[in-house]
Amino acid sequence: FEKHKQRALEDSYKGLKQENDILRTKMDYLKLVNFKQLELFRNELDKGISENKAVYKNKIRQLEMQVQQNNDELQSYKQTEKKYLEILESSSLEIANLTDEVKNRQYRESELLNNYVKILNFLNVLKEKLTNSSGRKEMFQEPSDTICDSEKEP
């Protein structure tokens, strides 16, 4: 079995080697064909360049002018972009400042609302004591912080 296996491997190797040799020959042929085609193309190109040298120089000059115009336009865009970025940065800072101011005002509003609730609680307690006192003088309690506490009896 091992000899049969070894023989099969050798045959397979020989077959692969033959295929490889065929592929190398084809590759060499294609390289030669490509080289010849490239050589013909170069000859045609050289002929065209030599016959139309003035045309190519003119086209090159036109392309250089177009490149310069594109560069000028690009510089203009860059300057405009820089201005917009500066405006954006200052706007971002202004937005951040306004956001801080809004937060501060919200905090202050919250404090004022808490104070308002305390005053209402105190007034409710005072009202209750005045209605319940019926002419008696009582010591007033300190007002509580919540409305629910003001509903309790003194």
pLDDT at 138 over 60: no
pTM score, whole prediction: 0.36
pLDDT of res. 145: 53
pLDDT of res. 135: 55
Cα 79–Cα 84–Cα 88 angle in degrees, nearest 5: 150
Q: What is the pLDDT of residues 48-96, one digit of tens each?
A: 878 888 787 888 899 999 999 999 999 999 999 999 999 999 999 999 9
For residue 153, name the pLDDT band (cuts at 50, 70, 90): very low
Q: How many domains are there within the chain?
A: 1
21 is a domain residue? yes
For residue 144, name the pLDDT band (cuts at 50, 70, 90): low
Structure tokens, 131: 């209605």
pLDDT at 132 over 90: no
6 is a domain residue? yes
CB 143 within 8 A of CB 121: yes
Structure tokens, 147: 């409305």
Percentage, residues of the chain above pLDDT 70:
86
d(CA 131, CA 66): 94
pLDDT of res. 140: 47
Torsion angle of C-alpha atoms 123, 124, 125, 127, degrees rounded to 10: 80
CA distances from 60 to 56, 65, 83 (A): 6, 9, 34
Question: How many other CB atoms sit within 10 Å of the CB of residue 144?
Answer: 17
Q: What is the pLDDT of residues 4-23, one digit of tens each?
A: 888 888 888 898 899 999 99
19 is a domain residue? yes
35 is a domain residue? yes
103 is a domain residue? no
153 is a domain residue? no
CB 117 within 8 A of CB 145: yes
Give the domain range for residue 38. Answer: 1-51
Q: What is the pLDDT of residues 99-126, one digit of tens each?
A: 999 999 999 999 999 999 999 999 999 9
Backbone angles phi and psi of 67, in degrees to 5: -60, -45
2 is a domain residue? yes
88 is a domain residue? no
Query: In 3-state terms, the chain is what percent helix, strand and coil (to 5)?
Result: 90, 0, 10
For residue 3, name the pLDDT band (cuts at 50, 70, 90): confident
